[in-house]
Amino acid sequence: MIKEGAHTHNARTDFNYTVTLPNHTCMLTGRGVVGESGHAWIENGTPKIGQMLHRNKKAYIASAFDVAHDHGLKTALFSSKEKFVLYDLSYNDRSGRPDTQGKDNGKDKLDHYHFNEKTEELIKTFTESLAKTPYDFSMLHLRDPDTAGHANGWDIQPKSVYISAVSKMDWIIGKIFDFIDTNEQMKGKTALIITADHGGRLETKTHTKSDEKLNYTIPFYVWGPDVSAGNELYKVNPSSRKDPGDKNIKYESEELQPIRNGDAGNLAMSMLGLPAIDGSTINSKQELNVKAAQKAEEN
- Determine whether 293 is exposed, middle or buried from the number of CB atoms within 10 Å of its CB (0-12, 13-18, 19+): exposed
For residue 218, being part of any structural domain is answered with yes
For residue 134, being part of any structural domain is answered with yes
Report, as an integer, the average pLDDT of 216-244.
Answer: 97
Report, as an integer, the average pLDDT of 137-157.
Answer: 96
For residue 280, being part of any structural domain is answered with no
- Give the pLDDT confidence of 43-94 residue by residue, as tens digits: 999 998 899 999 999 999 999 999 999 999 999 999 999 999 999 999 999 9
Number of Cβ within a 10 Å radius of residue 240: 15
For residue 294, being part of any structural domain is answered with no
Position 204 pLDDT exceeds 90? no
* Widest distance between CA atoms in the chain: 66
For residue 293, being part of any structural domain is answered with no
Q: Write out the residue range of the structural domain in which residue 246 sits.
A: 6-271
Choice among 8-22, 187-201, 250-264, 281-295 with the minimum mean pLDDT: 281-295
Position 202 pLDDT exceeds 60? yes
pLDDT of residue 293: 67
For residue 228, being part of any structural domain is answered with yes
Q: How many domains does the chain have?
A: 1
For residue 105, being part of any structural domain is answered with yes
Task: State the CATH number of the domain containing residue 51.
Answer: 3.40.720.10
User: Can you list the positions of beta strands (E) in 110-172?
Assistant: 112-115, 137-140
Q: Which helix (H) or strand (E) holds 168?
A: helix 161-181
